[in-house]
Structure 1
Amino acid sequence: MTLRILHIGKFYPPHRGGMEVFLADLVNAQRQAGIDAAALVHGTPEAGDPPG
Structure 2
Amino acid sequence: MENFELLMGGFATALTPMHITLMIVGVLLGLIVGVLPGLGAPNGVSLLIPLT
Both structures adopt the same fold (TM-score exceeding 0.5): no
Select the structure with the greater relative contact order (CA < 8 A; seq sep ≥ 6): 1
* Structure with max Cα Rg: 2
Q: Higher helix fraction: Structure 1 or Structure 2?
A: 2
Name the TM tier (shorter chain): 0.3 to 0.5
**So what's the TM-score if we normalise by structure 1?**
0.39
